[in-house]
Amino acid sequence: MIENSNIYSKFKYEPSIYQKQIIDKILNTNENLLVNAKAGSGKTSTLLMIAECLKQQNKNSLFLAFNKSIVEELKLKVDTSYCSVKTLHSLGFSYICSYLYSKYKTEYKLEVDSNYFKDIISFYFQDICGESFSRFFGSIFLFKLKRNSSFEKKVD
């Protein structure tokens, strides 16, 4: 465990034993760490504590999230001068742009062509499943619309 308890002084509350173990592992080893916990168990709070500890040590960090809404939430809560927060997708894009710049000394702005992406998915879906992608997923979409509209009627 971290011997200096002053590291926790900026937190709103005393971290749990599990949070202290996670923070200790992050600050005192170079090992990768996977935290698997249920919703509401304090993962985001722990992440914010880690960001604060790394900031106190003048260390930069990168936090990766699965979607933009989580990224936007975290950006409001961490000091972005020490902590970069991105989606996995945006990290990949930034690496591609960085590589292209280093190779060609020209800045590139990459954009996803959703029609091209859909065509690739449709081709492989048809090839693997033997069924039309749009027919298969179109029926799921219609089912969800029907289900949502019947739910709304119950609420009203």
Q: Cα 136 to chain center, whole Å? A: 29
Q: Which of 58, 99, 100 is nearest to 79 (CA)?
A: 58
Ramachandran class of 50: left when φ > 0, alpha when ψ lies in -120 to 50, beta otherwise = alpha
pLDDT at 81: 94
Please report, for the chain, the start and end positions of each structural domain, with discontinuous segments joined by +: 1-59, 64-111, 114-155
Averaged over successive runs of 10 residues, the pLDDT of the chain (156 residues) comes to 61 88 89 85 90 89 90 94 92 87 84 74 75 59 41 37
pLDDT at 5: 57
pLDDT at 68: 92
pLDDT at 77: 93
**Whole-model pTM?**
0.62
